[in-house]
Structure 1
């Protein structure tokens, strides 16, 4: 299919506001059911030929099985993953209705309803013509009045783009899988290896569906040959200083994630007679100490391998530095930590203060003050060690440090062998201007549920995402190039052919 046709299809998938709630009983399943109807309409061969199970607490997660012909490979399937759910748009200033969407080409913006077949089911698509540029919003954050010029979504480069919530995270990836399988089915391809397609329904809220599916496959005696989920993408040249090639960043591990609550208490009283060192002051001091004393910078093995792979394409001086990253690790780690948030996060455990609370009134001293920390724990660092470091830096027994939730860093998947070599070869084939490089992902994906027992778990969306696009993940005017959707479809098709043919 042409990029424009793929763009239209992605718009239809994005027109369903599939927002999941942390409490699954608060998730509205209707948009998910409507999305499933659209998927069945757009991909009839897939729905006719593949087995499907509805999974998860609400039965809105989808697990498809494409049976292979070789029984000797039946217990080592290929698992391709993406998630249906998206983050809300509350408080974001979109130039188009985020759940209507638009195709833009730099000259004009075509709203989702123009030239795009209506979504099957219809119930979850926002009314045509509604805008999110201001005014009242419904429960999904969609605008309920006004019109949009889509000026902010227009692409200055002139290529055709799809602007809607979920284009990057993660319905673009879901489309590449659906299209890739549908194309192969239409061509008569018959796989030898089983292929599973898992489309989760609660990834954005760290829900339980992926854990249930991983357990289900394990109970059936399966050990996937490879799991491929969202994660890295094809970044523009210059992702590292001096690197003159685009980089296909394939995550081979995920950082651990810990939510920590800091709490300080005090007798309280009237704000006109404050005592020194009150609850809010002690929380503020704790935060400042964490800001002044970040975790020590270091480079885990995947990051050192990434620098080596990408460094081959840098000028001589930078190439010499990257090639000798082993003995120069302390220096390189410190340099990376100063180059900005993206590269800095590669080199250390990070701590972000995300929530604060104190007194309920302006003239009342707080009896309890709290701060929530989101800690991303580097590969090779146990969560307990990270928490011990936080307590040591705060160094205040009157500030309670409580772990609310914790996930350990994942296992590291290999960067050699049949599976890695296949991904690298396909990058070279589909994205010839890019070089494949491993890295450690800062965020969490559903694939972490497979890491404890599956050796080859990779996180890579075969799509180009430049710095501006990456900055719009979870933000207003999330968008993707229609041309890269075609690249992604080709990548998925070739992956299935090579892994299962």
Structure 2
């Protein structure tokens, strides 16, 4: 499990995982070169030629979990059910050990068959994606120093989903061509403390609460980026009913679409704007003492086309109180937009189509953040797609209780990775 306080992390568990891989995947480890960068792993599969390589990414750390409320213990990896309904339960089944092991299985099987890629393939497995991403950042820096410039990078992200877009009944493979920036913004109010029996009219916590409610009452403006429009146009061509006419005229009907996206769901609302969520609060250390410092952490996801500076400006205008200190922590700008056409996009789309022939492949902006953002400086075609079919319930279990994956889905994911590797 990744923890923000690295002193609380059980690094021995990470070492046991890395040490077990050569035994579990002997053919892969005989054919590929492996390096350890801290607790992150980098493999190189040498190709027959010297063209630009492909990088497959995933991370093997997971967010913390306790057994409370889980149908099956989060770290027991229990199997239930039969056939298409057979399930593997556990933290990381989807995010993101499922992808790590699917990549390893795909490479192991191809090596055993005597396959060698046309050009080099790298496997990059980060150890702290859920916290700061230092492992992936370090690996990207090493590749840059070695002059490696990948043709394509594929990391976790979108999936094969159904019934997320009105009027479209076909499965949809949503491939992230960019991702929002992520910044933790700390709001701090400091003032003289004292006994809680004689509070002033405006305590530090009241001032902080007012700042939070003002921020919540003034959401960021909705915008449709070029990626948003292309996604709507792509999916609109497969829609039925009256919405088809709207979606296929996306560029002319942007005000209508902004209104629709802002009201369909929390997910569609997040697609078209920068979002803020207050995730942590801190006040007094005692129940009967006025806090000298009141603090809130606002998790901010910055829309493509915006910036950290623009976001902080909006927060200051919304809060309208100079006594509230606003500062960005671990700021990360939105990622550059990778092409949704051309040879690398077609490679990925063909690999998805080989296993999911009915799926409509569309670009989108990933709402979360991934390790792939560290590779955008060395590659122009960075994509975020986890090749699993995920239901709404399964997606809802990410970072939550009862995370699980259907075994049949996971096996098809291996096939997608193999199809992509055969064109490497």
Query: TM-score, length-normalised on structure 1?
Result: 0.82
- Residue aligning to 1:174: 100
Aligned equivalent of 1:70, options 49, 69, 72: 49
Matches within 5 A, 1:223-242: 223-236=149-162, 238-242=163-167
Contact 1:159–1:481 (CA<8 Å) still a contact in 2?
yes
SS at the partner of 2:400?
coil
Q: Deviations over 1:185-241 (max 9, x none)?
A: 1111121100011111111112311111111111111100100011111112x1112
Q: Deviations over 1:114-165 (max 9, x none)?
A: xxxxxxxxxxxxxxxxxxxxxxxxxxxxxxxxxxxxxxxxxxx971010011
- Residue aligning to 2:117: 191
Give how far 1:32 is off.
2.1
Matches within 5 A, 1:22-421: 22-24=4-6, 26-56=8-38, 60-71=39-50, 73=51, 76-90=52-66, 92-105=68-81, 159-236=85-162, 238-421=163-346
- Residue aligning to 1:143: none
SS at the partner of 1:190?
coil
RCO higher in 1 or 2 (8 Å CA, sep ≥ 6)? Answer: 2
Matches within 5 A, 1:408-447: 408-447=333-372
Q: Which moved more, 1:355-364 or 1:462-471?
A: 355-364
Give how far 1:23 is off.
4.5
Query: TM-score, length-normalised on structure 2?
Result: 0.96
Q: Deviations over 1:254-295 (max 9, x none)?
A: 111111111122323333333222211111111111111100
Contact 1:239–1:246 (CA<8 Å) still a contact in 2?
no
Give how far 1:20 is off.
2.7
- Residue aligning to 1:20: 2
Does the C-alpha gap of structure 1 residues 158 and 423 become closer, same or farther in structure 2, counting only changes over 3 Å? closer
Give how far 1:25 is off.
5.0
Q: Which moved more, 1:480-489 or 1:362-371?
A: 362-371
Report how many residues are paired: 424
SS at the partner of 1:229?
strand
Q: Structure 1 CA distance, aligned partners of 2:34 and 2:285?
A: 51
Q: Which moved more, 1:446-455 or 1:386-395?
A: 446-455
Q: Deviations over 1:452-489 (max 9, x none)?
A: 23100001011111110011001111100000112111
Structure 2: stretches of 5+ with no match in the other structure: none
SS at the partner of 1:197?
strand
Q: Structure 1 CA distance, aligned partners of 2:336 and 2:42?
A: 24
- Residue aligning to 1:148: none
Contact 2:183–2:308 (CA<8 Å) still a contact in 1?
yes
Does the C-alpha gap of structure 1 residues 25 and 363 become closer, same or farther in structure 2, counting only changes over 3 Å? closer
Contact 1:257–1:409 (CA<8 Å) still a contact in 2?
yes
Q: Structure 2 CA distance, aligned partners of 1:21 and 1:276?
A: 38
Does the C-alpha gap of structure 1 residues 223 and 158 become closer, same or farther in structure 2, counting only changes over 3 Å? closer
- RMSD across aligned positions (CA): 1.6
Q: Structure 1 CA distance, aligned partners of 2:4 and 2:298?
A: 19
Does the C-alpha gap of structure 1 residues 268 and 30 become closer, same or farther in structure 2, counting only changes over 3 Å? closer
Does the C-alpha gap of structure 1 residues 270 and 26 become closer, same or farther in structure 2, counting only changes over 3 Å? closer
